[in-house]
Structure 1
Amino acid sequence: MHKRLLYAVLPTLLSATGAFSAAAQAPADSLQVEQLQEVVIGAVRAAKDAPFAVANISRGELQDFSTTGIELPMLFARTPGVLAWSENGVGTGTSYMRIRGAGGSRINVTLDGVPLNSPEDQTVFWANMNSFGALMGSVQIQRGVGSSTNGDGAFGGTIALGTRAPSLVPTAELNFSYGYWNTMNLGVNASTGLLFNHLVLEGGYHQTTTDGYLHGTAGRSGNWYGGLSWLGRNWKLSYRLLGNFETTGQAWNGVTAGNDDLSLMDGTYGEHTGIKTYEDLYNVGLGLYNSLYERLIIDGNHYAMERYKMNDGSFWPRTTDNFWQTHHILNFAWDINEYWKLSVSPHYTHGYGYYEEFRYNNKLTKYGINTFKRPDGSTVKRSDFVRQKGLTQDTYGVVANVSYRRGAWDVVGGLSVQQFQGNHFGNLTYFGDPDVKIFLTLLNQAHLFNKDGGYCYYDSDAAKLDASGFVKASVAL
């Protein structure tokens, strides 16, 4: 992305008083603080000489990349064996990645040792982590089967995210970037530095907006962050609150999707289109086509796109994914002595979200609604709908790691326990044919309409208890 970047660091905006001078009375220097942070993340990372394919991304790379607003998989794709792409063509919003061909559900992701993979589908939704690079101190990517870790699915690879160590000096930072398709990123970070010889307070806010490249993919996403750390001579107690939000235009059917989810490429659309490559799509004017935003009209060799319309004649704005999530992580890290180190992290994550999608001329039976006859004798089998599918989820648990290093021996043990509670729902919030809504009311289905007028066609609860542990040892010969 070509961008104009304004980057300002104002290290003197916040300062501690002379009575609480970090330089004079700090219980631990910056090196000790970094070592305590290594206690937190070391158990889930491969050691320097371990026989695994590893790529490490530094804090500087993460900070520079975060100012673009592009999702983290695009940065990871700069390392060997990683492929990444986004739906909107800009690199923001809904994004995907593979490591050596393995998809998201086979890639284990942790944040300070805490599992981030969804307990239900074992994947990570990177759109919910926009600009997280600004909060990171380092990232390690293991390709293929690697070292033992906490959480699900490390068959394809492992990504260990580590937040920044607390800053002992006061800082304030402002970032701004602007690029094609009105893609803008704004970021603010601040730290008090060391207060009262022990306390560090930190915070930040980051936001990315874009018009998107494909039709109907405008979006807004970002994160906010707050943290406090109490530093001892050889231990650290910290609390981190990371929140994220996103409302992004969706294009998951891709540029080759035609009506009814069939491909425009010859062979599966049901008729000869003459479209065999992506270049052919652009040549017939369909390079920006998004079937979640508009329908395709084919007349011989002529192709046209028509926006979906509501009953009042207004256009359907766009299909959006909307999600809000907060991570609470309390961590105690203890550098016990020369040989032993301990890290314990209770954690809690709450998420809520939904997507809304225009469903053109869908069968009633798709939503459990029977066909019916109007008073004039005509049969109603199809209608336009707006479908809202969403979920709430709560995950809470604890992660503990202990390590012992002495002489040639390096032994690490870990334990992770977490409980997941979730609810999934599906609502129809718009009926293109108003007779369908009347029909449902006459069938005594009024109790399935919520206070906003949406018809609930499914509701499902989920619960899952996960527990895992590992011990790994290595000896230098």
Structure 2
Amino acid sequence: MFNKLWAILALCLLVSVSFAQENFTVRVLDKSGAPAIAATVSIDKQSKSTDQHGIAVFEDLKSQFYNLKISFIGYKSEILRINPSNQAIFSIKLKDQVYEFEELYVSATRAKENSATTFKTLDKEQIQQKNLGQDIPYLLDQTPGVVIGSDAGAGIGYTNLTIRGSDNERINVTLNGIPLNNPESMGSFFVNLPDFASSTESIQIQRGIGTSTNGPAAFGASLNIQTDALETKPYLELNNAFGSYNSWKNTIKAGTGLINNKYAFNARASRISSDGYVDRAFSNLKSFYVDGGLYTDKHTLKATVFSGKEKTYQAWYGLAEPLFTGNKARIEEYADNLWLEGAERERFLNGNRRYNYYTYDNQTDNYTQTHAHLNYSYRPSTQLTFNSALHYTRGAGYYEEFKPMSDLNDYGIDPIKVNGETIENTDLVRRRWLDNHFYGITYSLLYKPSSSLNFTFGGSYNQYKGDHYGEAVWADQVPESALGKKYYFGHANKNDFNFFAKADYRVDKFLFNLDLQYRNIVYNGKGDDEDIKNYSFDDTHNFFNPKAGITYFLDENSNFYGSYAFASKEPTRNDYVENPMGTVPRPEKMQDIEAGYRFRSETFNIGANVYAMLYKDQLIPTGEINNVGAAVRINVDNSYRTGFELDGSWKIHSKFIWSATAALSQNKIKNFEEQIPIYDDDFNVVDHELIVHKSSNIAKSPNIVLSNNFTYKPIEALSFRFLSKYISRIYLDNTSEKNRSIAPSFVNNVQAVYSFSAFGIRKIDLNLMVNNIFNEKYATSGYTYSSIMQSVGKRDYFNFYYPQAETNAMLGLNIRF
């Protein structure tokens, strides 16, 4: 009898528990009452995106109270307390959010959620976790296909970045939609923007061609950087870090919050310094950032001025292979090749991995770059938004170097007589200057006639004026009156106009993207360079760059996408002035085909994609560098990059998260014609030897790049991370020869972050990062050059590498009031 009674009670309990699992439906509408598609709905830590009807459904919820948060770009986020057992269906109409208007500055050039583009976005929290003074490329290290490094070895000073094997000359960078790339070199030098990460809200990395943007075409990737969003309350931050190689970061930030519900002002001042891993490769970097804005329900007007000043000791010559590997069998040959004698030869022969070729005390690069932006947004309705920006960048600086026993005639100085002796060669110090102006306007119009259809129209007109010149500032025994002349001078103008139109249209489970861009470039230069006299070029390009994609939604958590894009890109200044083949460089063309799958749930996120980037006339590095450390490039007829990429995270436990990325690729040139110079005994080039490689690897493009991140959070305020990075062999030239390559590397870092409040301080962060914990001896970049001496008749080559730091650490303390 009692057994039956207990069985009945157990059955009733089981039924009651099963009925206690509730389904909860959230319906989100925009201001007009239309469904808000792709709004983010979160119940505690479970997040979903609304479907085409503005609906998100949560299953198997308990009969208890939950925190419900709803976010949608351009609208005020809503946070509510709900209990599914009291209300099975919840509907909400969103309100305008003035304070998120700043996101509209970047919306015209960013990939939208679920669009048919391969991208990843880093938010402010992810950026702050890694921001200990190293350059922006170091913040991107755990994203697919990224390879980073620095001349000085520790990530402070000049840094380099490749994505899918493409260097910074092929990576488009915008700040709030305004181009950052130098119009002539097309590179982005973050050393000129020290600690800009402290003023950054988010960074979106689009791999491949990506969406239409402003500035040079993205031939490997684009970085879309958004500066700090408006904070409504006053704040003060003190961010400091100290670490190996006497590295320091000191930052102070302050903001007024909203004044009279309309005005806001923010300011930042930063100082970063380091002695560098490489001997004497110090960096002394300073910057400031100031903005002020007017914010109303329909208008936003924001003025921003930021500037960076850098002084870095040169380390771009790199490290000779015998010192890098420790195998000194050829060290005498390298010493002869570098023309080293006496004490300098002995210093080289006894050098180690931290050896620096330069010894002159002021062998430094000095540059100041100041930016002024004026952004305006007008939103007359929820369907229409207009953005525009005026910008001006002023850059000026030089690098100084000591030149022993130089010919005075080369520097515009007449031979002089001293004690009756004519002096034609002497020691001197020269400066090579870059002095430029870059200004223009960007604009965009976002029109959303319905919840399923979006139009974006935008573009820019920019103009660049730049001077390159050199001067001798000191020469032994030469009177000061004979110095200061410009021994070479070159001037360049570049006009860049582009217009793009984009449309996104959703029908049932399909989202269609169409993106068309027209770009016109007029670029001319004339004058002398260090070694090239009387150069002159005048080039005009008209490019049409179409893009199209489609996304198919399997359900609200997963989708497939595919896209096709075509882009063209003009050559850089160096390609015109220093072309090793003596020919006019051709513009590059690329077709980019992408296909991928995305899945997102509370515990598991994954993005997997394949791509094929097919080039015509790609400008590829030969493996050599010029006298300022830039890669020398030539056109090749046919080449390609194909690959598979993976970006995923798994919340294994509430306290343990595993994230990983993988980039597997082939980067090939078809029928590469290698030209090896032949020298006579007086070191004059008398001929070339031609070698044809039917299929070879593109220089500096590793086939495998893997990253790993294990995060353990024993409590909410404390986290530990174990970070790993593997990079396969990197070939220094285009011959696929192992003896001219960088060996694979596997580097591991650990990080601990503790956040708490105390003594009335709003937030205190302690951040310890220990890099390269297993003391890997590695490099991620280098160069090589080959030659044949006519009298010897065989090929010789010399490899140089940029060694990265051994085990090192940084400790950060951030305080926010």
Q: Would the TM-score normalized by the shorter structure come out above 0.5?
A: yes
Structure 1 Cα separation of the partners of residues 409 and 126 of structure 2 = 51
Q: 1:13: which partner in 2?
A: none
Superimposed CA distance per residue, residues 42-91 of structure 1 (whole angstroms, 9 cap, x where no aligned partner): 1111111122221211111222333x111001112221111111111111
Are 1:154 and 2:197 counterparts?
no
Q: 1:354 aligns with which of 371, 389, 398?
A: 398
Structure 1 Cα separation of the partners of residues 319 and 335 of structure 2 = 17
5+ residue gaps in structure 1? Answer: 1-27, 259-263, 274-280, 294-315
Structure 2 Cα separation of the partners of residues 125 and 159 of structure 1 = 13
Structure 2 Cα separation of the partners of residues 286 and 49 of structure 1 = 50
> Counterpart amino acid of 1:145?
I
Superimposed CA distance per residue, residues 342-401 of structure 1 (whole angstroms, 9 cap, x where no aligned partner): 1100111111111111123344455466778877677x5643221211122111111001
Q: 2:452 aligns with which of 402, 405, 408?
A: 408
Are 1:70 and 2:134 counterparts?
yes
Q: 2:461 aligns with which of 417, 436, 439?
A: 417
Q: 2:190: which partner in 1?
A: 126
Q: 1:95 aligns with which of 142, 146, 159?
A: 159
Aligned to 2:320, the other structure's residue is in SS state coil
Q: 1:55: which partner in 2?
A: 120
Evaluate the alpha carbon distance shift between residue 205 and residue 83 of structure 1 in structure 2; reply closer, same or farther with a 3 A threshold. same
Q: 2:353: which partner in 1?
A: 287
Task: Name the TM-score, length of structure 2 as normaliser.
Answer: 0.46
Evaluate the alpha carbon distance shift between residue 459 and residue 42 of structure 1 in structure 2; reply closer, same or farther with a 3 A threshold. same
> Counterpart amino acid of 2:249?
N
Are 1:234 and 2:298 counterparts?
yes
* CA contact 1:71–1:127 (8 Å) conserved in 2: yes
* CA contact 1:94–1:250 (8 Å) conserved in 2: no
Q: 2:363: which partner in 1?
A: 319
Structure 1 Cα separation of the partners of residues 430 and 337 of structure 2 = 31
Aligned to 1:35, the other structure's residue is in SS state helix
Q: 1:109 aligns with which of 173, 176, 180?
A: 173
Identity of aligned residues (%): 31
* CA contact 2:390–2:441 (8 Å) conserved in 1: yes
Structure 2 Cα separation of the partners of residues 366 and 349 of structure 1 = 33
Are 1:44 and 2:109 counterparts?
yes
Are 1:32 and 2:97 counterparts?
yes
> Counterpart amino acid of 1:194?
L
Structure of greater relative contact order (alpha carbons < 8 Å, 6+ residues apart): 1
TM-fit CA distance, 1:283: 10
**Greater shift in the superposed pair: 179-188 or 333-342:** 333-342
Structure 2 Cα separation of the partners of residues 167 and 364 of structure 1 = 59
Structure 2 Cα separation of the partners of residues 64 and 144 of structure 1 = 27
TM-fit CA distance, 1:136: 0.6
* CA contact 2:412–2:486 (8 Å) conserved in 1: no
Structure 2 Cα separation of the partners of residues 139 and 198 of structure 1 = 27
Q: 2:143 aligns with which of 76, 79, 94?
A: 79
> Counterpart amino acid of 1:82?
V
Aligned to 2:213, the other structure's residue is in SS state coil
Structure 2 Cα separation of the partners of residues 269 and 369 of structure 1 = 33
> Counterpart amino acid of 1:138?
S
TM-fit CA distance, 1:289: 1.4
TM-fit CA distance, 1:468: 1.1
Evaluate the alpha carbon distance shift between residue 157 and residue 265 of structure 1 in structure 2; reply closer, same or farther with a 3 A threshold. farther
Evaluate the alpha carbon distance shift between residue 104 and residue 170 of structure 1 in structure 2; reply closer, same or farther with a 3 A threshold. same
Q: 1:394: which partner in 2?
A: 437
Are 1:474 and 2:504 counterparts?
yes
Aligned to 1:194, the other structure's residue is in SS state coil
Number of equivalences: 400
TM-fit CA distance, 1:410: 2.5
* CA contact 1:41–1:113 (8 Å) conserved in 2: yes
> Counterpart amino acid of 2:353?
G
Structure 1 Cα separation of the partners of residues 418 and 352 of structure 2 = 39
Note the 1:146-225 alignment, pairs <5 A: 146-225=210-289
Aligned to 2:355, the other structure's residue is in SS state coil
* CA contact 1:216–1:318 (8 Å) conserved in 2: no
**Greater shift in the superposed pair: 399-408 or 138-147:** 399-408
TM-fit CA distance, 1:96: 1.2
> Counterpart amino acid of 1:466?
D
Structure 1 Cα separation of the partners of residues 308 and 388 of structure 2 = 24
Evaluate the alpha carbon distance shift between residue 146 and residue 355 of structure 1 in structure 2; reply closer, same or farther with a 3 A threshold. same
* CA contact 1:33–1:166 (8 Å) conserved in 2: no
Q: 1:334 aligns with which of 378, 383, 391?
A: 378
Structure 2 Cα separation of the partners of residues 456 and 257 of structure 1 = 37
Aligned to 2:392, the other structure's residue is in SS state strand
> Counterpart amino acid of 1:291?
Y
Q: 2:318: which partner in 1?
A: 254
> Counterpart amino acid of 2:452?
A
Larger Rg over CA atoms: 2
> Counterpart amino acid of 1:171?
Y
Evaluate the alpha carbon distance shift between residue 70 and residue 33 of structure 1 in structure 2; reply closer, same or farther with a 3 A threshold. farther
* CA contact 1:73–1:95 (8 Å) conserved in 2: yes
* CA contact 1:167–1:194 (8 Å) conserved in 2: yes
Evaluate the alpha carbon distance shift between residue 82 and residue 33 of structure 1 in structure 2; reply closer, same or farther with a 3 A threshold. farther
Aligned to 2:103, the other structure's residue is in SS state helix
* CA contact 1:344–1:401 (8 Å) conserved in 2: yes
Structure with more of its chain in strand, by fraction? 2
Aligned to 1:40, the other structure's residue is in SS state helix
**Greater shift in the superposed pair: 107-116 or 457-466:** 457-466
Aligned to 2:297, the other structure's residue is in SS state coil
Are 1:384 and 2:421 counterparts?
no
Structure 1 Cα separation of the partners of residues 348 and 425 of structure 2 = 32
Aligned to 1:471, the other structure's residue is in SS state strand
> Counterpart amino acid of 1:387?
R
Structure 2 Cα separation of the partners of residues 270 and 179 of structure 1 = 34
Structure with more of its chain in helix, by fraction? 1
Aligned to 1:181, the other structure's residue is in SS state coil
> Counterpart amino acid of 2:491?
D
> Counterpart amino acid of 1:191?
G
Evaluate the alpha carbon distance shift between residue 196 and residue 368 of structure 1 in structure 2; reply closer, same or farther with a 3 A threshold. same
> Counterpart amino acid of 1:56?
T
Q: 2:529: which partner in 1?
A: none
Evaluate the alpha carbon distance shift between residue 119 and residue 272 of structure 1 in structure 2; reply closer, same or farther with a 3 A threshold. closer
* CA contact 1:171–1:193 (8 Å) conserved in 2: yes
Aligned to 1:460, the other structure's residue is in SS state strand
* CA contact 1:424–1:460 (8 Å) conserved in 2: yes
* CA contact 2:135–2:157 (8 Å) conserved in 1: yes
Structure 1 Cα separation of the partners of residues 246 and 407 of structure 2 = 38
TM-fit CA distance, 1:230: 0.7
* CA contact 1:266–1:272 (8 Å) conserved in 2: no
> Counterpart amino acid of 1:239?
A
Structure 2 Cα separation of the partners of residues 205 and 272 of structure 1 = 45
Structure 2 Cα separation of the partners of residues 65 and 99 of structure 1 = 19
TM-fit CA distance, 1:171: 0.5
* CA contact 1:52–1:146 (8 Å) conserved in 2: yes
Structure 2 Cα separation of the partners of residues 121 and 50 of structure 1 = 31
